[in-house]
């Protein structure tokens, strides 16, 4: 049966059975994946997936059920299940669905996979690795994914979006003699295969670094100094900060230190963070939010000033705020005007943090991280790769103590982050 007809029929039956409001999501995704294992192309696989979510509100109660089979009997059973579940749910007036919006259809990305180009780029990558980085052991994959997502609700909202992109991922480690590095990895989504994979998003530099990381040294002493956060690290920390302090988690649990601060400067004026779900530079765009609104570009933080809380409809209703953005998925940090090399030259003593492992910060933002694949800096120059070391920091304080932001950026396909130089971080050997 036609996917839209499945949704239309389910909507009608749910309303007939007494639902006050209904939201429906239907997702269909296909993925063709080509893999390199032990330096050889040896696996091609195709994956198809589909899911249907039924979200029902009745008497201010909400229930949800999900299924991956769309035949009539499976859908009918799911409808019965969700209507039974909603009766025993807890009432909350914050439950709601998005209001009427004009129906729209969105498409983005290549219409079909170029299998020959995939094979060419993977062979090119493998040949370059063998020629330029013979001591590196690696796996890699290059895939093509296409997904279509439908959203309908009982207020008359009807959105459809189809997107496709190529996705590259590689993991690597180096061995020279008896010495072996730790592993590192990189990955990103791209809209086309017009550029060599090795030359996108610092891939060559990361693999070059792994070759010299077979020999590491401990930092000479514990110290407080500068840390230059690589884009992947700055992105993870900013995602954590946004979720904990400005997003649904912090506001719903009353743990945010900024519960009513729109229009106030709360972070360093050098920092501007945007949600840009339809940015032309992104291969993986989002045209519809998870709470059923058209996605829009907007500032979350601009010159350190909080502009919007990136929260969905339920959270906004629950905490008594106006919904403006929905959850932030496509984060773009405004680049600076300084190169990474210039940033390194400005560091008296510090670390270039290329990868880090950390847990969730506490309510005050305090956290620690294990520095991996990183470098000791002294007198404005990189000295050597360091053995795993610890960094203690406060998630809010570091983004109030930004010394510089690079013009180089890493485009994951969904977000864009630069290098960020922070001051007064506590570094210690393990």
pLDDT by residue (tens digit) across 335-356?
Answer: 999 999 999 999 999 999 999 9
For 25-39, 248-262, 297-311, 313-327, which range has the lowest pLDDT when averaged over its residues? 25-39
Q: Is the pLDDT of residue 280 over 90?
A: yes
- On whether the CB atoms of residues 352 and 234 are closer than 8 A, the answer is no
Q: Is the pLDDT of residue 297 over 90?
A: yes
Closest CA to 421 of 366, 361, 351: 351
For 79-83, 152-156, 308-312, 328-332, which range has the lowest pLDDT when averaged over its residues? 328-332
For 42-46, 281-285, 400-404, 421-425, which range has the lowest pLDDT when averaged over its residues? 42-46
In the chain, DSSP finds a helix count (H) and a strand count (E) of 9, 21
- On whether the CB atoms of residues 144 and 32 are closer than 8 A, the answer is yes
Q: Is the pLDDT of residue 1 over 90?
A: no
- The pLDDT assigned to 264 comes to 97
- The pLDDT assigned to 39 comes to 67
Q: What's the CATH fold of domain 3-212?
A: PmbA/TldD fold (3.30.2290)
Q: Is the pLDDT of residue 133 over 70?
A: yes
Delimiting residues of CATH 3.30.2290.10 domain(s) in the chain: 3-212
Using CB atoms within 10 Å of the CB of residue 298, give its burial: 0 to 12 exposed, 13 to 18 middle, 19+ buried: middle
96 DSSP assignment = -
- On whether the CB atoms of residues 67 and 74 are closer than 8 A, the answer is yes
Instruction: Name the pLDDT band for 360 (thresholds 50, 70, 90).
Output: confident
Q: How far is CA 101 from CA 5, 7, 155, in A?
A: 20, 18, 8
Using CB atoms within 10 Å of the CB of residue 10, give its burial: 0 to 12 exposed, 13 to 18 middle, 19+ buried: buried
Separation between Cα atoms, residue 86 and residue 78, nearest integer Å: 12
Averaged pLDDT for residues 86-94: 96
Averaged pLDDT for residues 34-57: 85
Q: Is the pLDDT of residue 88 over 90?
A: yes
Percentage of the chain beyond pLDDT 90 is 86
Between these two residues, 105 and 430, which has the higher pLDDT value? 105
- The pLDDT assigned to 212 comes to 94
For 167-171, 294-298, 386-390, which range has the lowest pLDDT when averaged over its residues? 386-390
Separation between Cα atoms, residue 113 and residue 164, nearest integer Å: 9
- The pLDDT assigned to 388 comes to 82
Q: Which residues, at least 6 apart from 88, have a Cβ–Cβ distance to it below 8 Å?
A: none
Averaged pLDDT for residues 161-183: 95
Averaged pLDDT for residues 13-33: 96
Closest CA to 53 of 16, 90, 82, 33: 82
For 32-41, 82-91, 165-174, 196-205, which range has the lowest pLDDT when averaged over its residues? 32-41
- The pLDDT assigned to 363 comes to 78
Question: Which residue's structure tokens are 């201010």?
Answer: 60
Instruction: Name the pLDDT band for 171 (thresholds 50, 70, 90).
Output: very high
- The pLDDT assigned to 364 comes to 81
- The pLDDT assigned to 38 comes to 66
- Mean pLDDT, the chain, integer: 94
Q: Which residues, at least 6 apart from 49, have a Cβ–Cβ distance to it below 8 Å?
A: 27, 28, 29, 68
Task: At 52, give phi and psi (nearest 5°).
Answer: -135, 125
Which H helix or E strand runs over 226? strand 223-229
Instruction: Name the pLDDT band for 361 (thresholds 50, 70, 90).
Output: confident
For 20-24, 154-158, 167-171, 388-392, which range has the lowest pLDDT when averaged over its residues? 388-392
Secondary structure in 3-state letters for 283-333: CCCCCECCCCCECCCEEEEECCEECCCCCCHHHHHHHCCCCCCCCCCCEEE
91 DSSP assignment = B
Separation between Cα atoms, residue 210 and residue 172, nearest integer Å: 8
Q: Identify the top-confidence range among 31-35, 358-362, 379-383.
A: 379-383
C-alpha radius of gyration, the chain, whole number: 24
Q: Is the pLDDT of residue 357 over 80?
A: yes
């Amino acid at each position: 049966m036609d996917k839209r007809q499945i949704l239309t029929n389910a909507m009608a039956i749910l309303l007939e059975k007494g639902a006050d409001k209904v939201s429906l999501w239907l997702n269909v995704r296909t993925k063709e994946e080509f893999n390199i294992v032990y330096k050889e192309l040896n696996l091609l696989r195709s994956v198809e997936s589909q899911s249907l979510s039924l979200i029902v509100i009745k008497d201010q109660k909400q229930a949800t059920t999900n299924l991956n089979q769309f035949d009539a009997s499976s859908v009918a059973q799911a409808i019965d299940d969700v209507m039974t579940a909603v009766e025993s749910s807890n009432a909350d007036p914050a439950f709601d669905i998005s209001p009427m919006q004009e129906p729209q259809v969105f498409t983005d990305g290549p219409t079909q996979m170029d299998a020959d180009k995939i094979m060419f780029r993977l062979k090119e990558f493998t040949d370059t690795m063998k020629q330029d980085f013979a001591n590196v052991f690696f796996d890699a994959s290059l895939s093509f994914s296409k997904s279509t997502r439908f959203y309908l609700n009982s207020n008359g909202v009807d959105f459809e979006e189809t997107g496709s992109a190529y996705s590259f991922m590689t993991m690597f480690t180096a061995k020279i003699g008896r010495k072996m590095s730790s592993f590192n990895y990189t990955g990103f989504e791209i809209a086309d295969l017009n550029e060599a994979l090795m030359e996108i998003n610092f891939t060559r530099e990361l693999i070059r670094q792994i070759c010299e990381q077979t020999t590491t040294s401990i930092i000479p002493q514990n110290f407080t100094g500068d840390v230059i956060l690589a884009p992947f690290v700055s992105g993870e920390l900013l995602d954590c900060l946004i979720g904990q302090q400005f997003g649904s988690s912090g506001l719903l649990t009353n743990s945010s230190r900024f519960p009513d601060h729109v229009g106030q400067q709360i972070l360093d004026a050098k920092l501007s963070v945007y949600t840009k779900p339809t940015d032309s530079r992104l291969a993986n765009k989002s045209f519809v939010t998870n709470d059923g609104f058209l996605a829009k570009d907007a500032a979350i933080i601009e010159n350190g000033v909080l502009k919007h809380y990136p929260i969905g409809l339920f959270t906004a209703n629950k905490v008594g705020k106006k919904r403006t953005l929905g959850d932030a998925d496509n984060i773009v940090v405004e680049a600076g005007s300084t190169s990474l090399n210039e940033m390194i030259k400005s560091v008296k003593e510090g670390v270039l943090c290329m990868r880090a492992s950390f847990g969730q910060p506490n309510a005050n933002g305090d956290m620690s991280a294990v520095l991996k694949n990183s470098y000791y800096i002294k007198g404005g120059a990189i000295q050597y790769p360091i053995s795993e070391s610890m960094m203690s920091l406060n998630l809010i304080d570091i983004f109030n103590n930004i010394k510089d932001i690079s013009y180089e950026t890493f485009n994951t396909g969904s977000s864009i982050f630069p290098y960020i130089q922070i001051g007064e971080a506590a570094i210690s050997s393990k």
